């Protein structure tokens, strides 16, 4: 447990010193705006896993998923010894055959690890 | 869906990933997709047999956005060294809004100046030093010179 761990109440009290009469909801919205802005920078690293499905090329990363991804920098696949082995990133970003899977989001379920 | 065990010895040699929009693609040269473009040795989706799946077969590492903040009594989902920056951001925006609402030009000017100072503090904390502040690498480094023999 860190010595200093701010909650919204403490932020709210600090804001009241500068701007009296602001509401808690207003501060809550501003805190979320700050968090969105901070999310654009590489401050937080997380890992998540999902199932590898037969004949599924695409796995969804959009905001509707249970994880909030900004940039993926590593991917690993489970091997026969139950180890996760890092795999390389394909630089051209495409393969010969076109795959359009419209139900990608429903077929993907991430769990944060 | 039936769960099957992974039979891939070294996925590093046969798997690739890439990003397109809001999706990550996982391709492999293993298995036979049954067409000329997807036979063994060509990149295609994993071939496990219809309806089969490898449970937790993929792990990704990523730069994440903080979770949505829903109640003022909760802790923030961000490293504590960056939390003071949140105060600066919130104060800056609140002061800007307050300056816009006030009818006294002198008060508005003072609030705008304070808002700009708070925003400058925020930008310095997050944009310039964000990664340095919360990175856990410390101590002196030693350089191993190359052996040129």
Minimal CA separation from B148 to chain A, in Å: 31
Give the A window 4-33 contacts with B, CB below 8 Å.
4-9, 11-12, 14-15, 18-19, 22, 24, 26-28, 30-33
Instruction: Given the cut 0.95, state whether the ipTM is greater than it.
Output: no
Strand B15-20 with B2-3, pairing:
unpaired
d(CA B95, CA A1) in angstroms, rounded, equals: 32
The pLDDT tens digits along chain B (149 residues) read 688 999 999 999 999 999 988 899 999 999 888 888 788 888 899 999 888 999 999 999 998 888 888 888 888 888 777 888 889 999 999 999 999 998 999 999 999 999 999 999 998 888 766 655 555 566 666 777 788 77
Looking at the complex, does the CB of residue A103 fall below 8 Å from at least one CB of chain B?
A: no
Task: With CB atoms and an 8 Å threshold, state whether A97 touches B38.
Answer: yes
Q: Where are the domains of chain B?
A: 2-53, 80-130
Residue B13: phi and psi, rounded to 5, are -90, -20
Tell me the C-alpha to C-alpha distance, in Å, between residue A64 and each of A10, A59, B113, B114, B148: 30, 12, 39, 37, 54
Task: With CB atoms and an 8 Å threshold, state whether A33 touches B79.
Answer: no
d(CA B61, CA B58) in angstroms, rounded, equals: 10
Closest C-alpha to B26, from A96, A106, A75, A100: A75
A47 chain-B contacts, CB cut-off 8 A: 59-62
A–B CB contacts, 8 A cutoff, strictly below = 316
């Amino acid at each position: 447990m860190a010595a200093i761990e701010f909650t919204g109440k403490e932020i709210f009290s600090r804001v009241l010193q500068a701007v009296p009469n602001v509401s808690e909801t207003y501060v809550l919205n501003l805190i979320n705006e700050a968090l969105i802005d901070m999310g654009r920078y590489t401050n937080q690293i997380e890992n998540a896993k999902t199932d590898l499905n037969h004949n599924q090329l695409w796995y969804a990363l959009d905001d509707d998923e249970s994880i909030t991804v900004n940039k993926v920098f590593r991917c690993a696949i489970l091997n026969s010894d139950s180890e996760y082995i890092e795999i390389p990133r394909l630089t051209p970003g495409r393969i010969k055959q076109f795959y359009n899977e419209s139900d990608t989001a429903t077929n993907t379920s991430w769990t944060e690890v | 869906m039936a769960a099957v065990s992974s039979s891939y010895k070294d996925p590093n040699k046969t798997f690739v990933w890439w990003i397109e929009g809001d999706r990550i693609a996982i391709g492999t040269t293993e298995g036979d997709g049954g067409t000329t473009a997807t036979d063994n040795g060509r990149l295609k989706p994993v071939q496990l047999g219809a309806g089969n799946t490898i449970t937790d077969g993929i792990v990704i590492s990523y730069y994440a956005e903080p979770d949505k903040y829903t109640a003022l009594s909760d802790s923030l989902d961000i490293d504590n060294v960056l939390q003071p920056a949140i105060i600066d951001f919130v104060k800056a925006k609140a002061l800007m809004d307050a300056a816009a609402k006030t009818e006294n030009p002198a008060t508005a000017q003072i609030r705008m100046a304070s808002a700009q100072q708070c925003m400058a503090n925020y930008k310095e904390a997050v944009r310039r030093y964000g990664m340095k502040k919360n990175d856990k690498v410390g101590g002196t480094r030693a350089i191993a010179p190359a052996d040129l023999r």
